Structures are given as C-alpha cells and as structure tokens.
C-alpha cells in the first residue's frame, strides 16, 4: 500500500495530538497560587476586605482567590469546593488553606449551623443534631482535601487563621494561647510532612506581632465593623504579614518563598 506525503503528514499530526491528550496534566511554566478560606481571606467589598485580595501584589506568580465568606473547613468540603479546587490544580501549583474563624462550636445541637467541626484532631466523628449527617474534625477535612490536591502534584500550605482584634478594649491581648485551630493547622502540616508537599505558615502569630508593633489606636482603626473583619488597609497589612512570615520561614520553608517580590515591606 502506498501513502502520499499529505497522508503521512496528516497521520503524524494526529499522533502528536493523541500524545498530548494522553497526559492532560502538565506542569505549567509558571505555577498558580490558589487560596481556600473564609471572609477574612475572601473578596468582600465596602468597608471590609479579605487579605487574599492583596496577596497578588506581593508575589511574582498569579493568585486565584477561592475563599468564600462564612465558610469553615466542613462547609467548604460539603459544598464541593475542595473537590472543584482539586480538579483545577496542576503539578507545581500551590494551595493555601486557611480556616478557623467559623469552625468552632459543636455540631451536636439541634441548632447546628452546618459549619462547626467535630471536636478533636483525628478520626473522631460526631452527628449533626440538625441534619443527622456525620461530622468530622477540622484536621480530617483539611488533610483529606490536601491529599487530593497533593495527588495532582500541587503543594499545600496550611496557614493558621488570623487573630481577631488583639487591641480590642485598649490593652494588647496577644500574649495568651492562640485559638486551637492554629495548632490544628500546624498539626495538619506535620501529619502530611511525609508527602514532601505540605508546609505551615503561622499567619496568626505574624499578624499578632504586627498588631503589637502597630499599637492600639492604629490596630483598632483597621476594624471598622467588628473584631474579626478588617478594612482594605487592614487586609493589605495582613497580606504583608503573611508574606513576611513566608520570607522568614519560621516554620520551615514553603514553596512560596521563591516567588516573593523583592522589596516587600517589613510589617513586624
């Protein structure tokens, strides 16, 4: 059987296309950072803003803010948001997971808000007093999500939640023990350390140090409506505290360190 040169070229082109389709997940030349979190990270608007909206100006790579106001590790999971995130990441991407503000309370009561995690850090299971659903621990939710993301070749940074206004009432309250979800985030990174793709950033302590430096009057001005949500200026500073913590590598080096812009300001 004889083939024309046109037939051979067409056949080679088809083989080339097929070869690419066999391996649809390829490492991008430039990784993307994805953020999973609540309103303290998310784009909100008006007098308030989450810190995730100011992270892009501090990095040399793209940032996609997937944080959603009002979410916890549990509700973010149940709404399928972690699943969707795992679908879009590719090898080399970096996912920052930061929850805690909405994860407290107990799911056992009839007034379960759909956000509270089961107390504990392991395989403990509760039952929602409202819906009857099985409710798992904070660590179960974030570590399960992280494993699915890491399986795609991406890295995960467990970032501890930001503190509330530590100068509320006029005296600094940052010397006590931080909320338990700070330790939970650190533990998640330790539990997945064997993957080589999990790390921890103590965002809570970075912001606490910054607020101590700023003082009462300035810090209080960053909270226009309550003690949890910051103004755009506050969000900008909280993002800079995160970047500085990454640069200092307090808790070990993260994959973000190499993508910090030169000249980022020091805020604590």
Catalytic residues: 39, 226, 229
Contacts with 15 (C-beta within 8 Å, 6 or more apart), sequence order: none
Q: How distant is the alpha carbon of residue 156 from its chain centre?
A: 8
Contact 60, 90 (CB under 8 A): no
**Tokens representing residue 146 in the block:** 């992280």
Q: What is the DSSP letter of 38?
A: -
Beta strands in the chain, from DSSP E residues, in sequence order: 33-37, 63-65, 94-98, 125-127, 134-136, 155-159, 198-201
Instruction: Provide the 10 A C-beta neighbour count for residue 87.
Output: 10
Using alpha carbons, select from 45, 97, 47, 103 the residue that is nearest to residue 70. 103
Q: How far apart are CA 94 and CA 32, in angstroms?
A: 6
């Amino acid at each position: 059987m004889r083939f024309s040169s046109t037939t051979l070229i067409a056949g080679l082109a088809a083989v080339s296309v097929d070869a690419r389709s066999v391996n649809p997940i390829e490492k991008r030349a430039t990784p993307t950072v994805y953020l999973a979190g609540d309103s303290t990270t998310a784009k909100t608007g008006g007098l308030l803003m989450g810190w995730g909206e100011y992270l892009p100006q501090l990095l040399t790579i793209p940032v996609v803010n997937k944080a959603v106001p009002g979410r916890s590790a549990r509700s973010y999971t149940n709404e399928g948001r972690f699943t969707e995130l795992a679908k879009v990441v590719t090898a080399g991407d970096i996912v920052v997971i930061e929850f805690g503000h909405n994860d407290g309370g107990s799911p056992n009561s009839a007034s379960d808000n759909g956000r509270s995690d089961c107390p504990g850090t392991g395989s403990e299971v509760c039952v929602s007093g409202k819906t009857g659903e099985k409710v798992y621990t904070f660590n179960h939710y974030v570590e399960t999500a992280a494993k699915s993301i890491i399986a795609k070749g991406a890295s995960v940074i467990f970032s501890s939640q930001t503190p509330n206004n530590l100068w509320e009432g006029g005296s600094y309250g940052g010397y006590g023990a931080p909320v338990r979800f700070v330790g939970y985030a650190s533990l998640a990174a330790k539990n997945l350390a064997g993957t080589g793709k999990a790390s921890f950033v103590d965002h809570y302590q970075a912001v606490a140090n910054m607020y101590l430096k700023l003082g009462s009057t300035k810090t209080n001005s960053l909270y226009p409506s309550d003690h949890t949500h910051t103004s755009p200026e506050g969000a900008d500073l909280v993002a800079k505290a995160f970047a500085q913590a990454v640069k200092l590598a307090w808790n070990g080096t993260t994959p973000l360190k190499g993508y910090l812009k030169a000249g980022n300001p020091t805020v604590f």
